[in-house]
Amino acid sequence: MYALRKHWLCTRETNYKLFINKIGKVNFYRLNHKEKSYLRNNKLFLINFITSKNLKIMKEKSIELLNKAVADELSAVHQYMYFHFHCDDQGFDLLANLFKRRAIEEMIHVEKLAERILFLKGEIDMTLSQPVKPVHDVREMLKMAAGMEQGSANDYNNWANECAQNADAVSKKLFEELVGDEENHQQQFEDEMENLDKYGDNYLALQSIERSKNNSGPAGA
Ligand SMILES: [Fe+2]
Ligand SMILES: [Fe+2]
């Protein structure tokens, strides 16, 4: 990244320059012909104009977005464990395990986000973004879970772009990695919804029967 003049920054890749105003709002402008030529000829000097104030503002934005993600991930952990308990209680082992595994993966997401927040010298806010919803119907559980994953993937896509605009490539990369995971989760929940649509309640009954068979195995097994 190279500096044009105080508070003006530009990147070789994008041909854009950005200006951070006093309240921290970032504006982007295209480089003019002369500036492009300077950049091509390496005549711009290495940046030393990112003021400590601007750097702090850029970091704070990333920390805010990372904490929003922590709140969403924590809500997903709690919601999925709630679904796990109820599926387990009804004998639907396959779905109970699916929700438990997803909850553990969301917890790993929290860990990655928290590590990044601490690296940026921020504080981790462990507040949930929403309370656990008492949903007991399996189809409703899967629908809600798929919707949560889709919402997270959309948010993380947007937040990756915001981090890029704030010159925070590492947070951007982290959000992009999470988008991939959330899209996979969404697909898994949608696959289970399809199974339910295809096989109806027999799909759930089979899971209960399977558990009964396992529980009635030979004594001491
Ligand atoms: Fe996640
Ligand atoms: Fe997820």
CA of 65 to the centre of ligand 2 (A): 17
Mean pLDDT of the chain: 83
Mean pLDDT value across residues 182-195: 96
Least confident of 20-29, 99-108, 193-202: 20-29
Assign 153 a pLDDT band (cuts: 50, 70, 90).
Answer: very high
CA 98 to CA 95: how far, in whole Å? 5
Mean pLDDT value across residues 190-199: 93
Which positions ≥6 away from 18 have C-beta within 8 Å? 8, 9, 10, 26, 27, 28, 29, 165
CA of 113 to the centre of ligand 2 (A): 14
Of the bound ligands, which one is closest to the alpha carbon of residue 148? 2
CA of 140 to the centre of ligand 2 (A): 17
CA neighbor of 78 nearest in space, from 142, 132, 24, 10? 132
Instruction: Give per-residue pLDDT as tens, 43-65.
Output: 443 333 445 556 677 789 999 99
CA of 215 to the centre of ligand 2 (A): 31
Q: What is the pLDDT of residue 35?
A: 64
- Ion ligand 1: residues, CB < 5 A: 73, 106, 109
Identify the structural domains of the chain with CATH numbers, from first to last: 1-29 (no CATH), 53-215 (1.20.1260.10)
CA of 119 to the centre of ligand 1 (A): 20
For residue 162, pLDDT beyond 70: yes
Instruction: Give per-residue pLDDT as tens, 70-124.
Output: 999 999 999 999 999 999 999 999 999 999 999 999 999 999 999 999 999 999 9
For residue 144, pLDDT beyond 50: yes
pTM score, two decimals?
A: 0.74
CA neighbor of 166 nearest in space, from 55, 13, 23? 55
For residue 221, pLDDT beyond 50: no
Mean pLDDT value across residues 179-184: 98
The proportion of the chain whose per-residue pLDDT surpasses 90, expressed as a percent, equals: 60
CA 174 to CA 153: how far, in whole Å? 12
Q: What is the pLDDT of residue 1?
A: 43
CA of 31 to the centre of ligand 2 (A): 39
Of the bound ligands, which one is closest to the alpha carbon of residue 70? 1
